[in-house]
């Protein structure tokens, strides 16, 4: 294996490691739900949208024949599905949770039907599915901007997770480089906003240090 092959293997490994590390941050929510037997302070929508995102990128990876995309998103989909099932188990509003899940899954199934039956050309499938995955991923990275505005207004970063910020930065950076190496803009471009928002969050942590926040102090010790 030449230097280029070694670099690609290391980059692929970094994508897998950092992404699974980011997905595993949900384990803290899982433990919280099990310990308190409730879903208080746990948001459901991020689990659901991340699961849909994983399934979409998994389909793209299968079409493209990319093992890195397949492994990461298959494991990610399993983890997010686990989080969803635990949330459903402890949620007092099961009907609303099931309705949201069924709605997004219905949209996903319609999308699958469109790509598999109405777009027979493989190259066209890759382009259109890649575009959908890119737009969906960008929207997920930009969705927490409301939290950033809240931080500036309140001058407190208590609503932000420092560990998740670092995980997002590493994950976005590795996937951007991976997409650049593959010359695949559908992988590279949607991860650039993740890098940008991560640096903004780090600046906010520096600007408004969590002097009163126990979780942040524990991360620094």
* pLDDT tens digits in sequence order for the chain, 221 residues long: 555 677 788 899 999 999 988 888 888 888 888 888 888 878 888 888 899 999 999 999 999 999 999 999 999 999 999 999 999 999 888 888 899 889 988 888 888 888 778 887 888 888 989 999 999 999 888 877 777 777 888 888 777 788 888 988 999 999 999 999 999 999 999 999 999 989 998 998 888 886 644 444 444 44
Task: For residue 141, give the nearest of 104, 196, 187, 180 by alpha carbon.
Answer: 196
Can you tell me whether residue 125 is helix, strand or coil? Answer: helix
Distance of CA 55 to the CA centre of its chain: 11
Dihedral sign (CA 198, 199, 202, 208): negative
179 touches 172 (CB < 8 A): no
- Whole-Å CA distances, 161 to 30, 61, 137, 151, 187: 16, 29, 19, 12, 25
pTM of this prediction?
A: 0.84
> Going along the chain, which residue ranges are E strands?
none
């Amino acid at each position: 294996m030449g230097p280029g092959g070694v670099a690609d293997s290391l980059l692929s490994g970094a994508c897998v490691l950092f992404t699974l590390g980011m997905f595993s941050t949900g384990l803290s929510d899982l433990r919280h739900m099990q310990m308190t037997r409730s879903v208080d302070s746990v948001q459901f929508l991020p689990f659901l949208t991340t699961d849909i995102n994983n399934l979409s990128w998994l389909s793209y990876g299968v079409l493209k024949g990319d093992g890195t995309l397949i492994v990461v998103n298959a494991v990610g989909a399993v983890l997010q599905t686990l989080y969803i099932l635990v949330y459903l188990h402890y949620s007092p509003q099961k009907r609303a949770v099931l309705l949201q899940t069924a709605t997004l899954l219905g949209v996903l199934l319609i999308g699958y039907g469109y790509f598999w039956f109405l777009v027979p050309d493989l190259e066209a499938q890759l382009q259109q599915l890649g575009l959908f995955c890119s737009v969906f991923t960008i929207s997920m990275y930009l969705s927490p901007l409301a939290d950033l505005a809240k931080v500036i207004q309140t001058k407190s970063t208590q609503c932000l997770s420092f560990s998740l910020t670092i995980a997002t930065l590493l994950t976005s950076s590795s996937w951007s480089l991976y997409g650049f190496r593959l010359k695949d803009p559908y992988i590279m471009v949607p991860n650039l906003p993740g890098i940008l928002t991560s640096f903004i969050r780090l600046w906010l942590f520096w600007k408004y240090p969590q002097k009163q926040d126990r979780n942040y102090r524990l991360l620094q010790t």
